[in-house]
Amino acid sequence: MEDGDSLDGCRVLIVEDDAMISMMLQDLLEDMGCSVVGVASRLEEAQRKGDAGGFDVALLDVNLRGEHTFPVAESMAQRRQPFVLTTGYATTILPDALRGATLLQKPYRRQDLERALWDAMHDG
């Protein structure tokens, strides 16, 4: 991984139901030079914003108030839209369509986040 500037100007969509974490992410991402282009905290909002596009990479919390965001991730995968799945689960069983997706365990350090975003955009 290169330095933070490789993510410079990178447009990020945040899907996260916890406001505190969402705010922290925005701070972190902006520190890295990214621009947060959208935040979603509900599934249908996530779906809509995902479908709308206009971002380079999405940070997707797997569980939104008890609902899985796999459908959103799957449609992103179909569109070859890079995304990172964030999860509190130690071991998350991913659907077949999402095998190989970049996974980030909560809580995470800044460098973990940078690596995950970079991986998602370059492997995808």
Partner 1 sequence: MSMANDIREDGDTAVFPADEAAGAARIFEAAGHAPPGGPSQRPHDEAESGAMEPAGDPDEAHAPHERLLAVIQELQARNEELARANSELNSLIAGTGIGTLFLDNELRVRRFTPHLASTFELVAADVGRPFAELAARFETENLLADAQYALRDAVAVERESVGKEGSFYRVRVQPGHAGNGKVDGVALTFVDISERERRDEEVRSLNVELETGKTFAESIVATVREPMLVLDQDLRVVMASRAFYRDFLTTPEATVHELFYDLGDRQWDIPDLRRLLDDVLPEHTSLEAFEVRHDFGAGERIILLNARRLRQQPGVEPLILLTFEDITDRSRTMQALAASESKYRQLFESLDEGFCIIEMMFDDAGQPVDYRFLEVNSAFYRNTGLADVRGRTMKELIPEHEQYWFDIYGRVATTGEPARFEQRGEGMHRWFDVYAFRAGAPGQHQVAILFNDVTARKELTIGQARLASIVDTSDDAIISKDLDGVIASWNRGAEEMFGYAAEEAIGRTIASLLIPADRQYEEDEILRRLRGGESVDHFETVRRHKDGSLLDVSVTISPLRNKDGRIIGASKIARDVTERKRYERHRELLIQELNHRVKNTLASVQALAAQTFRGAGMRESVANFEARLLAMSAAHDVLTRQSWQGAGIREVVGDAVATWAGKSGQRASFHGPELRLRPAVALALAMALHELATNAVKYGALSNKKGKVSIEWSVSDDPQPCFRLCWRECGGPPVHAPVRRGFGSRLIEYGLARDLGGTVDLSFNAGGVECRIEAPLEGIREEGAV
Instruction: Please tell me the count of residues contacting partner 1 according to CB under 8 A.
Output: 19
When asked if residue 87 is in the footprint of partner 1 (CB under 8 A), the reply is yes
Q: Residue 61 CB, nearest distance to partner 1 (Å)?
A: 9
When asked if residue 95 is in the footprint of partner 1 (CB under 8 A), the reply is no
When asked if residue 78 is in the footprint of partner 1 (CB under 8 A), the reply is no
Q: Please, which of residues 35-54 interact with partner 1 by CB under 8 A?
A: none
When asked if residue 20 is in the footprint of partner 1 (CB under 8 A), the reply is yes
Q: Are 64 and 15 in contact (CB under 8 A)?
A: yes
Residue type at 80?
A: R
When asked if residue 115 is in the footprint of partner 1 (CB under 8 A), the reply is no
Q: Are 57 and 117 in contact (CB under 8 A)?
A: yes
- How many CB atoms are closer than 10 A to CB 49? 20
Distance CA 5, CA 37 (A): 18
Q: How many CA atoms lie within 13 A of 103 on its CB side?
A: 15
Q: Given the rule CB under 8 A, which residues bind partner 1?
A: 18, 20-21, 23-25, 27-28, 63, 87-91, 105-109
